Structure 1
Amino acid sequence: MCGRFTLYIPYKELIARFGVGRTFQEGEYLPSYNIAPTQKMVAVINNGRENRMGKLRWGLISRWSKEMKIGSRITNARAETLEEKPIFRQAFERRRCIIPADSFYEWQREGEIRRPMRIRLKDEPVFGMAGLWDTWVSPAGEKVHTCTAITTKPNRLMERIHDRMPVILNPAHEAEWLAPDNRDTGSLSRMLVPYDADKMEAYEVSPEVNSPKNNGPELIVPFC
């Protein structure tokens, strides 16, 4: 699964990396070392003309959901069942997004011990995770924009840590993934594969990351 991640790359580098044409103001960008479900995260979508960057609440609430609290349970979507589950099917066809991150956390279980691990790419400061988004309107008329991260089976590195991992998109596929007129779910599904393990690395970090209340650069320091 994907339950926590980081995004602290400088704002201008983030804009350049994802070719964003329209976004929020630089002062609204808050680097984070411990992004958790139900929090707002940065996401990139395409409106048919340009890439736009905004903030989405982590936890998908489909437009036909009856209540908001369901979102806290739908933080991940399995790549293998996107076309089978009604809550994901339409978003997979029409409302895809990229979730920028510079690393993610996963907990490696050893008996009763759970060790937090930070996973990142060796040679790239930031990457794009595949996601789905939707807009829910509350009974009071409030619009809530939400998203979920797509997961897949683990690669050779991740299988020692957990049985799932977020889909990290090949940069060459990002434009095709975002294209709103692309309804070819077969070709889209072929993008949802484990990232090359040789291009990734993992190390243990402080158990302070266990609480989303903790959010500082000390969380990404190797734990000895």
Structure 2
Amino acid sequence: MCGRFALTETPEAVQNQLGVADFEPFPPRYNIAPTQPVLMVMSGPPQRPGSNLPPRRSMLVRWGLIPSWTKDPKGLSLLFNARSETAAEKPSFRTAMRHRRTLVPASGFYEWRRAGGGSPEPYWIKPRKGGLIAFAGLAESWAEPGGSEIDTGAILTTAANEDLRGIHHRMPVVIQPQDFERWLDCLNQEPRHVADLLKPAEPGFFEAVPVSDAVNRVANAGPGLQEPVESSRVTGSRKKPAGDDSQLDLF
């Protein structure tokens, strides 16, 4: 799964690597959690010949997809992940898979390993070569009873590769730069045409670094969360993160 991630690259790096229009500068974020705003990238309007406009646009969405047909989200489970194997058929994600596929820029993600009966140990999982990556995402707009709309989204997951399955059996889907255009092209590419992109990262792509359980609390942020520690010395409660009142809820 993917329940926490970080985006510490500069806005300029996101603009240049994902080909998006200008957006408001944002600070590094070291501990992004469900219900918080996350940056997503979608296809822009059709390009006219000679246009200098970027082919993609960015948007902030609430991390936790709300299907458009939902009447009251209070009774809905928090859909911050979607299983890539079934998303094209599931009512909650089917429409977004066909019409609103996105990229979620990230520097890496956190995962928790449960060793035997012990408490979960957190890991910072980042690309071995560093730099920006893009998770496969889905976006959906939900209209409140009063008429206002909120943009929401989820991150697609797949089976973990051989490097990470010892930590957790799922991992986020990573879309490689050469596949950005095809993944985002919802006009010409149906879900069946991009199903081959929904696969685990190649072995060796990620490295897993044991980190302090300070990451368990959403209120904790800063580069210290990604500092390596000895796995056997990850101390404290090691309680796997759950909801936190300090999250930036978009409702």
Q: Which residue is equivalent to 1:150?
A: 156
Deviation of 1:84 after TM superposition, in Å, equals 1.9
Q: Which residue is equivalent to 2:246?
A: none
Which has more strand, going by share of residues? 1
Matched, 1:16 2:16: yes
Q: Which residue is equivalent to 1:90?
A: 95
Matched, 1:107 2:116: no
Matched, 1:41 2:38: yes
- In structure 2, stretches of 5+ residues that fail to align are 47-54, 231-251
Deviation of 1:124 after TM superposition, in Å, equals 3.6
8 A contact 1:47–1:180 mirrored in 2: no
AA paired with 1:16?
A: N
- In structure 1, stretches of 5+ residues that fail to align are none
8 A contact 2:68–2:143 mirrored in 1: yes
Instruction: For 1:124 and 1:217, locate their aligned partners in 2 and report how far apart those are by CA, in whole Å.
Output: 15
SS of structure 2 residue aligned to 1:56? strand
Provide, for residues 162-193 of structure 1, a one-character-per-residue CA deviation record: whole Å limited to 9, x for no partner: 01000011211111111131342222111000
Percent identical across equivalent pairs?
38
Instruction: For 1:106 and 1:183, locate their aligned partners in 2 and report how far apart those are by CA, in whole Å.
Output: 32
SS of structure 2 residue aligned to 1:13? helix
Which has more helix, going by share of residues? 1
AA paired with 1:208?
A: A
Instruction: For 1:47 and 1:180, locate their aligned partners in 2 and report how far apart those are by CA, in whole Å.
Output: 11
Q: Trace 1:136-147 onto structure 2 (pairs within 5 A).
A: 136-147=142-153
Matched, 1:4 2:1: no
SS of structure 1 residue aligned to 2:61? strand
Runs of 4 or more consecutive aligned structure 1 residues displaced over 4 Å after TM superposition: none
Deviation of 1:106 after TM superposition, in Å, equals 0.3
Instruction: For 2:74 and 2:22, locate their aligned partners in 1 and report how far apart those are by CA, in whole Å.
Output: 28
Name which of 172, 175, 182 aligns with 2:178: 172
AA paired with 1:36?
A: A
8 A contact 1:6–1:101 mirrored in 2: yes
CA RMSD of aligned residues (A): 1.3
AA paired with 2:206?
A: M
Matched, 1:73 2:78: yes
- Larger mean Cα displacement after TM superposition, 46-55 or 153-162: 46-55
Instruction: For 2:29 and 2:37, locate their aligned partners in 1 and report how far apart those are by CA, in whole Å.
Output: 11
Deviation of 1:88 after TM superposition, in Å, equals 0.8
SS of structure 1 residue aligned to 2:109? strand
Deviation of 1:71 after TM superposition, in Å, equals 6.2
SS of structure 2 residue aligned to 1:113? coil
SS of structure 2 residue aligned to 1:198? coil
TM-score (structure 2 length as normaliser):
0.85
TM-score (structure 1 length as normaliser):
0.94
Tell me the number of residue pairs that the alignment of Structure 1 and Structure 2 aligns.
Answer: 221
8 A contact 1:48–1:179 mirrored in 2: no
Provide, for residues 96-121 of structure 1, a one-character-per-residue CA deviation record: whole Å limited to 9, x for no partner: 00000001000010122210001111
8 A contact 1:43–1:98 mirrored in 2: yes
8 A contact 1:93–1:182 mirrored in 2: no
Instruction: For 1:98 and 1:86, locate their aligned partners in 2 and report how far apart those are by CA, in whole Å.
Output: 21
| CA distance 1:160–1:57, change in 2 (3 Å) | same
Instruction: For 2:103 and 2:217, locate their aligned partners in 1 and report how far apart those are by CA, in whole Å.
Output: 25
Instruction: For 1:184 and 1:139, locate their aligned partners in 2 and report how far apart those are by CA, in whole Å.
Output: 31
Matched, 1:222 2:221: no
| CA distance 1:71–1:171, change in 2 (3 Å) | farther
